[in-house]
Amino acid sequence: MRIYREKDYDAMSRRAANIISAEVIRRPDCVLGLATGSTPIGTYKQLAAWNQRGDFSFKEVHSVNLDEYKGLSGDHDQSYRYFMQKNLFDHIDILPENTYVPSGLAEDPEEECRRYDELVKSFGYADLQLLGLGRNGHIGFNEPSDHFVKETHVVDLTESTIEANARFFASADDVPKQALTMGIGCIMAARRILLIASGADKADAIYKTVCGPITPECPASILQLHPDVVLVCDEAALSKL
């Protein structure tokens, strides 16, 4: 693992955007695995600014997102599809038909998971997978558990995740209780992984990710087994290392 220690959130965002843009410049038709949550917002803003300035283009890029809430349509303002439109896709020159997010409204969610797995596989997996980190060590929506799940699957969200994400909803009761998420297999099959984290409330999860045992109790700890992982964190997130 390579670890970048950045002063603050803005510096973390710029560093992460630099790594992603370098990938797009080097390989204009790359597959980007993308993430949601508050952490990547600054990274996406920076990428959009550089793209609008004409530094590089997303016209040949395909994107595959990690996850989606079960039961939310793409135009629900808390869905991850909506998040991606508002925070990135609407501001860059990526072709809408080249952006993929699991469907939260699929009649048969298990079938949707299989379809999504096949889709990501058909792209040869992500060239670069961006990840945020849950306070409990989750990646995508792979929650702490007694086993790792390889395939895209439907997951029951933990109380701590529901509570952490309640800030985006009217109340905790409105947070969906389930989600569709890429499994550990798709994530680990990415050629390169970029994990970003900011703030003291991630320090414990970062410590366990880097120094803890490899265990499904901290899903991100499996990244220790990936040959090309870059961590970009601010000082607060690294404070326990």
Catalytic (active-site) positions:
67, 136, 138, 143
Which lies closer to ligand GLP via its Cβ, residue 51 or residue 161?
161
The Cα 137–Cα 36 span in angstroms is 15
Rounded to the nearest whole angstrom, what is the least distance from the CB of residue 219 to ligand GLP in the complex? 11
The number of C-alpha atoms within 13 Å of 220 and in the hemisphere containing its C-beta is 31
Which lies closer to ligand GLP via its Cβ, residue 109 or residue 140?
140
Rounded to the nearest whole angstrom, what is the least distance from the CB of residue 109 to ligand GLP in the complex? 16
Rounded to the nearest whole angstrom, what is the least distance from the CB of residue 37 to ligand GLP in the complex? 3
Over its C-alpha atoms, the chain yields an Rg (Å, rounded) of: 16
Query: Of 12, 67, 20, 74, whose CA–CA distance to 48 is shortest?
Result: 20
Which lies closer to ligand GLP via its Cβ, residue 48 or residue 133?
133
Which lies closer to ligand GLP via its Cβ, residue 46 or residue 165?
165
Which lies closer to ligand GLP via its Cβ, residue 92 or residue 155?
155
Rounded to the nearest whole angstrom, what is the least distance from the CB of residue 115 to ligand GLP in the complex? 20
Collapsing DSSP to helix, strand or coil, 239 comes out as: coil
Closest residue to ligand GLP: CB criterion: 132
Q: Is 123 left (phi over 0), alpha (psi -120 to 50) or beta?
A: alpha
Rounded to the nearest whole angstrom, what is the least distance from the CB of residue 20 to ligand GLP in the complex? 16
Chain centre distance of CA 136 = 15
Q: Give the residues lining the site for ligand GLP (CB under 6 A).
A: 35-39, 66-67, 132-134, 140-141, 161, 165
The Cα 7–Cα 107 span in angstroms is 45
Q: Which two tokens stand for residue 20?
A: 């992603």
DSSP letter for 10, please. Answer: H
Q: Which two tokens stand for residue 146?
A: 């007694």
